[in-house]
Amino acid sequence: MKPVRVRFAPSPTGALHIGGVRTAIYNYLLAKQTNGTMILRIEDTDQTRFVPGAEEYILKALEWVGIKIDEGVGVGGPHAPYRQSERKSIYHQYAQQLLADGNAYYAFDTEDELEAMRNRLKAAGSSNQQYSATTRMMMDNSLTLPESEVQRKLESGHPYVIRLKVPDSEEIHLHDLIRGEVNVHTSQIDDKVLMKSDGMPTYHLANVVDDYLMQITHVIRGEEWLPSAPLHVLLYRFLGWEKQMPQFAHLPLLLKPDGNGKLSKRDADKAGFPLFPLNWIDPTSGELSKGFRESGYLPDALLNFLAFLGWNPGTEQEIFSLQELTAAFSVDRIGKAGARFDIHKAQWFNQQYLKNKSNEALAAYLLAALPPGATCTPNKAEKICGLLKDRVTFTHDFALQAQFFFEAPTAYDQHVVSKRWNDDAIKVLTAYSHALSSLTGLTAEVAKTTLENVTATLGIGTGKILQALRVAISGAASGPDLMVSMEILGAPEVAARINRALSTLPKV
């Protein structure tokens, strides 16, 4: 495939939704696969929805997930600026071209007049109350007013918008790479505003102009933009750019975990899982929404999980590195049907990725989350992570499950104590603690053979006292491999913990 030029074009209206991250991933995979270019364009023409901090958030989130921008905001490039609010004059020029060619017109209607039109149509029983081919001739615009009046209004600074003049009766065709042929009749399309009264373009005009000027070859975006696509086709035609029109691919929706309806922030909050890649504090309400990162997910696991929400490789393989995804990805294998957002699957991916990471990489998560005052060498942290990595789901689980390596137990599992803290256990543990105090280094192997020697001498089965030993050392009924745990704790600490249990726990 020829190198593509794709863009991720979020609006800085808040935190980047996880669906947006998936859109960015698909764009990125196609760009990498073809040695193409991944562009980040910030679509900030709607000043009323601008949220401070959102752009920085988007940049940070993409970086965390591992998406590298080749051209765009934060990087620069030959088509700069990439922030639409800084490209006003460019849009203005194309709006003028549309006006001059009779494909757009000035509209002077006030909010009240628009409201009155809608009410009139509603009262007359019309199902469609839009500003369109059927209504435009009843309104206050450059198609209905004498030219002198239009000039007078423009010169006197009367507020106006520029609207697209959608053809009356025509079928618009477009080919979507995921959905196939899409046909929409122009009676379904209203005369969309292209330039607003504040002098800013709307999404539609800015998006089409920029995709053309930035030589975008593929527009990969969420399904919610499919209804806008026919309008964009019209704009390409009116601007004389039909031959350069990008290919469209509208991605399937992300559905609630039960598959019923579109996934929303409320669903995620209710079920207690994140929907944003990173923590986000709403600047108005101060409300904190937890991110996947802060909830203990690894970026590569999240990327792998998201890539599978709508796409599949057609094989049984599920674990894909970024390189593997890049090689295997194809837009043809993206489905039309909505993709169920199964958070358990995300957790499964996270477990697989944690298991496959080097102990050295995982040690950083443990060291960063140690309880205050705890000290730990990198070597010890690596050993603990190696021991725990088959047992964790989230990065913070290391610190939680490793707690007993840093603090001796202050409480003991009552169930185990009541069943297992018997004469045999006390005899074995007393002798074992004694044997340990004469050892200098302790390996898992030595811990095991020493214990077996003690139990053999006393004629007590090792299996019968293991739970008592575990509870003496960790306080808990279950946990990671006991012999390796003792190796990490070291002989003096193990002996001290056994002695403390022997002096505190009542015998059964």
Contact flag: residue 209 with ligand GLU (CB under 6 A):
no
What is the footprint of ligand GLU within residues 212-271 (CB under 6 A)? 221, 225
Among 135, 142, 186, 207, binds ligand GLU (CB under 6 A): 207
- The rounded distance, in Å, linking the Cα atoms of 145 and 148 is 8
Segment interacting with ligand GLU (CB under 6 A) among 4-12, 169-177, 287-295, 317-325: 4-12
Helix, coil or strand: residue 452: helix
Our CB check for ligand GLU shows the closer of 6 and 346 to be 6
Contact flag: residue 87 with ligand GLU (CB under 6 A):
no
- The rounded distance, in Å, linking the Cα atoms of 23 and 10 is 10
Contact flag: residue 11 with ligand GLU (CB under 6 A):
yes
Our CB check for ligand GLU shows the closer of 13 and 403 to be 13
Contact flag: residue 109 with ligand GLU (CB under 6 A):
no
Contact flag: residue 9 with ligand GLU (CB under 6 A):
yes
Contact flag: residue 45 with ligand GLU (CB under 6 A):
no
The two structure tokens encoding residue 302:
């999240």
Amino acid at 116: A
Given CA atoms 491, 494, 497, 503 in this order, what sign does their dihedral have? negative
- In the complex, least distance from residue 103 CB atom to ligand GLU, rounded to whole angstroms: 21
Nearest of 4, 78, 71 to residue 41 by alpha carbon: 71
Helix and strand counts by DSSP (H, E) for the chain: 21, 14
Judged on CB neighbours under 10 Å (0-12, 13-18, 19+), 92 is: middle
Contact flag: residue 65 with ligand GLU (CB under 6 A):
no
Contact flag: residue 201 with ligand GLU (CB under 6 A):
no
The yes-or-no answer on residue 380 being catalytic is no
Our CB check for ligand GLU shows the closer of 117 and 164 to be 164
Our CB check for ligand GLU shows the closer of 227 and 259 to be 227
Q: How many residues in the shown chain lie near ligand GLU by CB under 6 A?
A: 8
Question: Which among 265, 290, 427, 448 is annotated as catalytic?
Answer: 265
- The rounded distance, in Å, linking the Cα atoms of 337 and 330 is 16
- In the complex, least distance from residue 163 CB atom to ligand GLU, rounded to whole angstroms: 20
The secondary element (H helix, E strand) that includes residue 60 is helix 54-65
Name the DSSP letter for residue 42: B
Contact flag: residue 12 with ligand GLU (CB under 6 A):
no
Contact flag: residue 193 with ligand GLU (CB under 6 A):
no
CB of 41 closer than 8 Å to CB of 82: yes
Contact flag: residue 202 with ligand GLU (CB under 6 A):
no
Our CB check for ligand GLU shows the closer of 46 and 140 to be 46
> What's the distance, Cα to Cα, between the start and end of the chain in Å?
74
Neighbouring C-beta atoms of residue 64, cutoff 10 Å: 17
Strand-pairing partners, residue 262, are 255
Helix, coil or strand: residue 347: helix
Our CB check for ligand GLU shows the closer of 220 and 436 to be 220
Contact flag: residue 50 with ligand GLU (CB under 6 A):
no
Q: State residue 365 phi and psi, 5-degree precision.
A: -65, -40
- The catalytic site residues sit at 265
Query: Interface residues with ligand GLU (CB under 6 A)?
Result: 9-11, 43, 203, 207, 221, 225
